[in-house]
């Protein structure tokens, strides 16, 4: 039997108590039923602002956003703290996790037509465009305020996908099979990945639209354009004080990473030929390695001290090494369908989310 997302091994019996300030945050978003599912049975029930139940099993998270939640609700819960953290100099990462058709793409980016409307916020716009609209408007406010007039900000962005265990540049499709360089102390980077400087929300929108149009998608029965790759949009935000006598005393650098993980679609695994099977196998394997890293990290009492976490087992975990258990503020958005047809994937996603909440990060300020 093929699971719609990897099972978390049940061998971990003693998890350390949760330190909320430095733990990975998990927000669950339940998408509304679609037309085809109206006749189906709704098995997911929101019990409170932070818990839900599925057929009598209760799950606890940092926040649960029900089927009637808006894109604005997601932004208030995840985007506002992220913008605040990155302006304060923390690295921040958001990852969307869930089976195909559960609402990851809708939540992260919004429908393409909504994203193209870069400057004004419209109700369909996803989390990522909202984050950058707010980030740029906060920077502008800071620069206009008298005490921060002297602060310079610089932003550069990159966009990659991990497809069949290969890293491809979404901003330059000729750059394929790129290698990860660096180490846990110095941080990781992808060699030869395009880096573009951005100064306005239009610049970011241009990059997002270009990158997303280069993403590998495949046709499946759940969703006609299902994502077949993990994608990572990264922005490095640097700030420094013009008038300072020492540039080192006043400089900050923070990294915003926005990760949309591919999901498994059981129908694809069963039905659609060898090409899709290979893709599905790679997605399943890399999500399973992510599950393993998260499970092991959930038992580590001192973040960063455990040398035996198998980060290098997959491109995804290798790239996330300085994020998971590292010095970033991390939020998972676990996307689920309320329908009984998707029960196996929903339960698997919720179990992953509960485990991810136990991972502690260092969340250190990142001064250069
Ligand atoms: P995934 O990226 O997880 O495969 P999508 O984001 O593409 O899933 O969502 C699947 C379908 O459900 C899409 O047609 C999308 O527009 C719709 N959808 C998902 N979440 C919502 C939501 N919160 N409100 C309205 N429609 C949604």
Q: Based on the number of CB atoms within 10 Å of its own CB, is 149 exposed (0-12), middle (13-18) or buried (19 or more)?
A: exposed
Is 207 inside any structural domain?
A: yes
Q: Is the CB of 31 under 6 A from ligand 1?
A: yes
Output the six-digit token pair for 147.
């005490």
Task: Tell whether the torsion through CA atoms of 101, 103, 104 and 108 is positive or negative.
Answer: positive
Phi/psi at 248 (nearest 5 deg)?
Answer: -70, -30
Gap from CA of 282 to ligand 1 centroid (Å): 23
Q: Is the CB of 226 under 6 A from ligand 1?
A: yes
Report the nearest atom of ligand 1 relative to the CA of 223.
Answer: 10
Give the closest residue to 30 by CA, choosing from 332, 264, 337: 337
What is the number of domains present in the chain? 1
Give the closest residue to 335 by CA, choosing from 130, 122, 112, 108: 108
Residue nearest to atom 25 of ligand 1 (CA): 32
Is 33 inside any structural domain?
A: no
User: CA 230 to CA 216: how far, in whole Å?
Assistant: 9
Is 47 inside any structural domain?
A: no
User: CA 215 to CA 280: how far, in whole Å?
Assistant: 16
Q: Is the CB of 98 under 6 A from ligand 1?
A: yes
Is 103 inside any structural domain?
A: yes
Question: What CATH number is attached to the domain comprising 154?
Answer: 3.40.850.10
Is 30 inside any structural domain?
A: no
Gap from CA of 103 to ligand 1 centroid (Å): 4
Q: Point out which residues pair with 252 in neighbouring strands.
A: 239, 367
Q: What is the pLDDT along the chain (368 residues), one digit of tens a residue?
A: 333 434 434 433 344 567 777 889 999 999 999 888 888 899 999 999 999 999 999 999 999 999 999 999 999 999 999 999 999 889 999 999 999 999 999 999 998 777 766 666 789 999 999 999 999 999 998 888 866 667 889 999 999 999 999 999 999 999 999 999 988 777 788 999 999 999 999 999 999 999 988 987 654 444 444 678 999 999 999 998 876 555 455 688 899 999 999 997 654 444 455 567 788 889 999 999 999 999 999 887 666 666 689 999 999 999 998 888 888 899 999 999 999 999 999 999 999 999 999 998 875 544 44
Output the six-digit token pair for 327.
């010095």
Give the closest residue to 256 by CA, choosing from 166, 168, 366, 352: 366
Output the six-digit token pair for 107.
């939540």
Evaluate whether 25 touches 331 at the Cβ level (below 8 Å).
yes
Evaluate whether 190 touches 178 at the Cβ level (below 8 Å).
yes
Q: Is the CB of 89 under 6 A from ligand 1?
A: no
Residue tagged 């935000």 (tokens): 237
Residue nearest to atom 19 of ligand 1 (CA): 103
Q: Is the CB of 99 under 6 A from ligand 1?
A: no
Q: Is the CB of 292 under 6 A from ligand 1?
A: no
Give the closest residue to 6 by CA, choosing from 331, 253, 314: 314
Report the nearest atom of ligand 1 relative to the CA of 96.
Answer: 3
The helix/strand/coil state of 96 is strand
Residue nearest to atom 17 of ligand 1 (CA): 103
Dump pLDDT digits (tens) for 85-141: 999 889 999 999 999 999 999 999 998 777 766 666 789 999 999 999 999 999 998
Residue nearest to atom 22 of ligand 1 (CA): 31
Is 223 inside any structural domain?
A: yes
Domain that holds residue 222: 53-356
Is 8 inside any structural domain?
A: no
* Chain centroid offset of residue 312 CA: 19
Per-residue model confidence (pLDDT) at position 73: 98
- Using alpha carbons, list the distances in angstroms from residue 282 to 16, 104, 154, 173: 32, 19, 36, 20
Output the six-digit token pair for 126.
């996803």
User: CA 79 to CA 108: how far, in whole Å?
Assistant: 10
Is 48 inside any structural domain?
A: no
Pairing label, strands 252-260, 91-97: parallel
Gap from CA of 65 to ligand 1 centroid (Å): 14
Q: What is the DSSP letter of 215?
A: S
């Amino acid at each position: 039997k093929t699971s719609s997302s990897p099972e978390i091994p049940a061998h971990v019996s003693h998890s350390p108590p949760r330190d909320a300030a430095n733990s990975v945050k998990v927000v669950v978003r339940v998408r509304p039923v679609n037309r085809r599912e109206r006749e189906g049975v709704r098995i997911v029930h929101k019990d409170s602002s932070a818990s839900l139940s599925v057929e009598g099993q209760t799950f606890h998270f940092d926040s649960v956003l029900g089927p009637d939640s808006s894109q604005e609700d997601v932004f208030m819960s995840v985007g506002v703290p992220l913008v605040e953290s990155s302006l304060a100099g923390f690295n921040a990462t958001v990852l969307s996790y869930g089976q195909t058709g559960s609402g990851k793409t809708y939540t992260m980016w919004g429908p393409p037509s909504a994203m193209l409307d870069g400057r004004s916020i419209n109700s369909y716009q996803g989390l990522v465009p909202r984050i950058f609209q707010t980030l740029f408007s906060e920077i502008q406010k800071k620069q206009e305020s008298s005490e921060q007039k002297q602060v310079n900000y610089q932003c550069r962005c990159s966009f990659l996908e991990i497809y069949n265990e290969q890293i491809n540049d979404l901003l330059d499709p000729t750059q394929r099979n790129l290698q990860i360089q660096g180490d846990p102390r110095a941080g990781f980077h992808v060699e030869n990945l395009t880096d573009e400087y951005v100064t306005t929300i239009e610049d970011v929108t241009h990059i997002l639209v270009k990158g997303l149009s280069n993403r590998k998608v495949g046709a499946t029965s759940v969703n006609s354009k299902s994502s077949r790759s993990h994608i990572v949009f990264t922005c490095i935000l640097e700030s420094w004080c013009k008038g300072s006598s020492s540039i080192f005393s006043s400089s900050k650098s923070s990294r915003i990473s926005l990760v949309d993980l591919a999901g498994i679609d059981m129908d694809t695994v069963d039905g659609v030929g060898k090409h899709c099977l290979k893709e599905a196998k790679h997605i399943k394997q890399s999500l399973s390695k992510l599950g393993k890293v998260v499970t092991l990290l959930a038992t580590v009492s001192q973040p960063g001290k455990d040398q035996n976490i198998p980060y290098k087992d997959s491109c995804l975990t290798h790239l996330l090494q300085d994020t998971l258990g590292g010095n970033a503020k991390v939020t998972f958005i676990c996307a689920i369908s309320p329908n009984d047809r998707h029960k196996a994937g929903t339960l698997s996603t919720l179990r992953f989310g509960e485990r991810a909440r136990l991972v502690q990060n260092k969340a250190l300020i990142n001064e250069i």
